[in-house]
Amino acid sequence: MYSVTVRDHVMIAHSLQGEVFGPAQRLHGATYVVDATFRRPRLDEHGVVVDIGRATEVLRASIEDLNYRNLDDHPELAGSNTTTESLAGVIFTRLAHAARAGELGPAGTGLAAIAVTLHESHIAWASYEGRVD
């Protein structure tokens, strides 16, 4: 399986629901480094997995409305626990939709999977990976 990864970052505020989260139940901020990895079994006729420029643009568009936001107030996320894991799933869903809609260009139609990793710090991160089809 071939892969290409692009990276961006997003700064958010949120609070988590449940005693298990201890002090993270209070409003706090996080800066996530976001990696999006695009996978396909064969390279396209140009020898690429996906156009890196388009992948970078689509990743930016997928996280733009989360940046500098309190996710507790975000209409799509209000009432949900916006854990690092769940946010990776949200971003995956957005990227998969963009791939199916042709926003990644012709190479994007041959993608088998996308993985999204959110790095909370240099020692902790979470990912979600799923099929595009």
Classified by CATH at the fold level, domain 2-131 comes out as: Tetrahydropterin Synthase; Chain A (3.30.479)
State the pLDDT confidence band at 4, using cuts at 50, 70 and 90: very high
Q: For 36-70, how does the pLDDT look when each residue is reduced to its tens digit (9 = 90+)?
A: 999 999 999 999 999 999 999 999 999 999 999 99
Q: For 82-129, how does the pLDDT look when each residue is reduced to its tens digit (9 = 90+)?
A: 999 999 999 999 999 999 999 999 988 899 999 999 999 999 999 999
For the chain, give the number of residues. Answer: 133
The residue-averaged pLDDT of 12-31 equals 92
Hey, what amino acid is at 72? Answer: D
Distance from the Cα of residue 20 to its chain's centroid: 24
Q: What is the pTM of this model?
A: 0.94
Place of tokens 């107030």: 73
